[in-house]
């Protein structure tokens, strides 16, 4: 099938298809790991111009999370943001973790991380690897950017960032599922306890 696509699609559309399919696959993997009994559909929108690569969609008035609860992968947004990047598979995983964290916020009503939760790791003289990571200038720049977002996006950005760090470059399905359940599924206090144990 992939050979047929390579012949049929121009390079830009092929890249969009591959990246969108990869993002759809990763969202499904992470979502099914946390919600095995009620995974959501992932819909691919190839035509809409979007500034986003993906979104978690729900209708506040639909209390049983029926038809209007799903993920969307925006093909044009994926191509615009990730097309041509060397690390696109890593970025696809980052986006998937972020969007599923939004579902966790909504469906599990978890306590979200905030800037005050992280201040304990941001120190002038870091002594542990954990403190060194959270206290680095790059991480401070990231946090400054994240705090300009909504509370839900701040939490999703920080959780996605922590999960990516803990994956340690091992993007096997099994490792993704483990970190998903250890971090992405958890409320803020459990994530912080997990990080403290790692830091000791």
CB atoms under 10 Å from CB of 46, counted, come to 14
pLDDT at 65 over 60: no
Q: The tokens of 70 are what?
A: 């799903």
pLDDT per residue as tens digits for the range 99-141: 999 999 999 999 999 999 999 999 999 998 889 999 999 999 9
Say which residue the tokens 């005050």 belong to: 116
Secondary structure E strands in the chain: 42-45, 54-57, 70-74
The per-residue pLDDT for 6 is 45
pLDDT per residue as tens digits for the range 108-118: 999 999 999 99
pLDDT per residue as tens digits for the range 168-194: 999 999 999 999 999 999 999 999 999
Q: The tokens of 177 are what?
A: 């599922």
Tell me if 75 sits within 8 A of 23, measured CB to CB: no
pLDDT at 145 over 60: yes
Characterize 72-84 residue by residue with b for buried, 16 or more Cβ atoms within 10 angstroms of its Cβ, and e for exposed: bbbbbbbbebbee
pLDDT per residue as tens digits for the range 7-59: 544 445 556 678 889 999 999 999 999 999 999 999 998 888 888 899 998 87
The per-residue pLDDT for 67 is 64
Among positive and negative, which fits the CA dihedral 141, 144, 150, 152? positive
- Indicate the pTM of the whole model: 0.88
Which long-range contacts does 67-71 make (Cβ < 8 Å, 24+ apart)?
69/40, 70/40, 70/41, 70/42, 70/43, 71/27, 71/31, 71/40, 71/41, 71/42, 71/43, 71/99, 71/103
The per-residue pLDDT for 139 is 95
pLDDT at 84 over 90: no
The per-residue pLDDT for 33 is 98
């Amino acid at each position: 099938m992939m050979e047929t696509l390579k012949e049929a699609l121009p390079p830009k559309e092929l890249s969009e298809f591959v990246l969108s399919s990869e993002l759809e696959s990763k969202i499904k993997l992470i979502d099914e790991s946390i919600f095995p009994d009620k995974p959501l559909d992932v819909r691919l929108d190839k035509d809409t111009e979007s500034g986003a690569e993906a979104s978690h969609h729900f209708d506040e008035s639909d209390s049983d999370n029926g038809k209007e609860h799903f993920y969307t992968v925006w093909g044009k947004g994926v191509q615009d943001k990730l097309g041509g990047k060397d690390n696109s598979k890593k970025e696809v995983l980052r986006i998937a973790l972020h969007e599923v964290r939004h579902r966790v916020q909504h469906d599990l009503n978890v306590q979200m991380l905030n800037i005050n939760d992280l201040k304990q790791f941001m120190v002038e003289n870091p002594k542990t690897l954990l403190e060194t990571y959270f206290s680095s200038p790059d991480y401070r720049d990231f946090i400054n950017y994240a705090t300009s977002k909504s509370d839900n996006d701040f939490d999703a950005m920080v959780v996605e960032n922590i999960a990516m760090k803990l994956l340690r470059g091992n993007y096997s399905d099994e490792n993704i599922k483990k970190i998903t359940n250890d971090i992405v599924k958890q409320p803020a206090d459990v994530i912080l306890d997990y990080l403290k144990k790692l830091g000791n």
